[in-house]
Amino acid sequence: MLGRVADQLYWMARYSERTENMARIIDVADRMTLTPQTDETRQSAWVSALEVAGAQSGYGEKHGDINGADVVHYLAMDPDNPASIYSSIRATRENARALRGSITTEMFESINATWLELQAMNTDVLRPGARRDFFLWVKDRAHLFRGVAEGTMLQDEAMCFMNIGLYIERADCTARLLDSKYHVLLPASEEVGGALDYYQWGTLLRSLSAFRAYHKIYRDRISASRVADLIILNAQMPRSLRSCYDRLSETLEDLCGTGAPECQRLVGRLHSGLRYQRIDQIFATGLHEFLTAFIEGNAQVGQQLARDFMMVR
């Protein structure tokens, strides 16, 4: 496969996953601002959303002071923000259009319809009472695109590159969301285990579609260590770091065969850390430090993949 085509398939899948992830990031920040708390604490939720999205500097240059409505618009519909939902859907469509000969008609029609619907929307969809419906629409369209791809694409190299992009992007967002709650929004010591702490951890689980899974497994109150265990190490949880790297490792094995490019070694190193560590070991060395190292390692995997397969130097 040409490196250019592999690159476009990889980024089409990453941008599609990013639209859903950005909707989850904004939604969790929006839900956290609804709890009884000080204005400073409420504002920290929006700061956290910008940090998770890697958009704090861009927002500061354009808007300055933190304002909830401005943050939502910047992360959702601002065409000048390359990480916004609007920009990600546009980039998904642009890559899909360039790949008309490599993807199915149904895939292109799905993302093209999403783009046309988005263009027909106005800022009213971001009003406080309407945001949740917009976020659900974004997630539904991302799910539809993935479902169409899974149901119509040949399970060949093209699908491998799409899956690689999906799992790298998903793992990055999951790690950033967990780190934002534990490190940025960690309540004061007297609030740990209280109603606010419970609500915030519950909100994080809902943002990752993991709330029911948590109660099915643990059948008990929500605690930081159990949430982290589910989101980091549980292989059955679709958005967990372990699950993403299980699938990423399998996909690379299918793609590379007996070869062993450098990216496969990097994936194996991160994968082994997720397979053989216990959550108490992670907390003992520092959850924030673990997640920071994972995010950096995951980014290195993406960079090495580009060098190994996409002729990027």
pLDDT, residue 191, reads: 47
pLDDT, residue 192, reads: 46
225's tokens: 């260590």
pLDDT, residue 188, reads: 46
pLDDT, residue 138, reads: 96
Q: How many CB atoms lie under 10 A from the CB of residue 276?
A: 9
Residue labelled with tokens 């690159």 = 7
Q: At 238, is the secondary structure helix, strand, or coil?
A: coil
pLDDT, residue 40, reads: 72
Question: Percentages helix, strand, coil for the chain, rounded to the nearest 5?
Answer: 75, 0, 25
- pLDDT tens-digit map of 208-248: 899 999 999 988 788 888 999 999 999 999 999 999 999 99
Radius of gyration of the chain (CA): 19
Spatial contact of 159 and 110, defined as CB atoms under 8 Å apart: no
pLDDT, residue 180, reads: 81
Collect all residues with Cβ–Cβ distance below 8 Å to 116 and sequence separation of at least 6: none
- Rounded CA-CA distance 164/9 in Å is 10
53's tokens: 């999205």
- Rounded CA-CA distance 158/219 in Å is 41
Angle at 168 between CA 166 and CA 174, to 5 degrees: 95
- Rounded CA-CA distance 52/69 in Å is 17
pLDDT < 70 stretches in the chain: 1, 36-38, 41, 183-197, 258-260, 311-313
